[in-house]
């Protein structure tokens, strides 16, 4: 009868190596590792074959914060929600008008780009609001 494999002796995948290398990158960015030590540890990560090997590479590092999530275009508050809704409405109206103009241009030809009069003024207002910070994530905002 074979003995069960200990967790630290389990083989690892490239995905696990990539995850540990990303954690080492964050440790380097946080100043916990200098460039030389970071390079040595990343080489050790890619040479690792088991979970125990990976654990030894990061054993002396404190817990790192999780990797940053995806960047958000708008905040989660009321202003961000309003900007998201208004931007979606503006984009839909602008695209519908652009498609209608394009169909007319292809079938009739010589049509003035009137869709710009529909798209640009509200787009400029939304762009200005976003530029001054309404609904836009920034330092200390979520």
pLDDT, tens digit, for every residue of 71-114?
A: 888 888 999 999 999 999 999 999 999 999 999 999 998 889 99
**pTM confidence score:** 0.53
* In the chain, where the domains are located: 7-58, 78-131
CB neighbours (10 Å) of residue 62? 8
Q: pLDDT grade, residue 1 (50/70/90)?
A: low
Q: pLDDT above 70 covers what percent of the chain?
A: 93
Average pLDDT score over the chain: 89
Q: How confident is the model at residue 65 (pLDDT cuts 50, 70, 90)?
A: low
pLDDT on residue 89: 96
Residue 116 pLDDT greater than 60, yes or no: yes
Residue 111, number of CB atoms within 10 A of its CB:
15
Give the Cα-Cα-Cα angle 80, 115, 136 (nearest 5 degrees): 15
């Amino acid at each position: 009868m074979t003995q069960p494999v200990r967790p630290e002796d389990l083989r690892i995948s490239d995905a696990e190596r990539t995850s540990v290398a990303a954690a080492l990158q964050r440790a380097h960015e946080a100043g916990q590792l200098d460039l030389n030590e970071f390079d040595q540890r990343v080489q050790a990560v890619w040479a690792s074959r088991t979970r125990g090997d990976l654990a030894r590479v990061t054993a002396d590092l404190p817990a790192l914060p999780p990797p940053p999530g995806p960047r958000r275009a708008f905040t989660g508050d009321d202003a961000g929600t309003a900007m998201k809704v208004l931007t979606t409405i503006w984009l839909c109206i602008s695209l519908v008008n652009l498609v209608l103009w394009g169909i007319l241009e292809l079938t009739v030809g010589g049509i003035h780009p009137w869709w710009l009069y529909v798209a640009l003024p509200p787009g400029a207002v939304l762009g200005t609001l976003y530029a001054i910070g309404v609904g836009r994530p920034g330092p200390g905002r979520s």
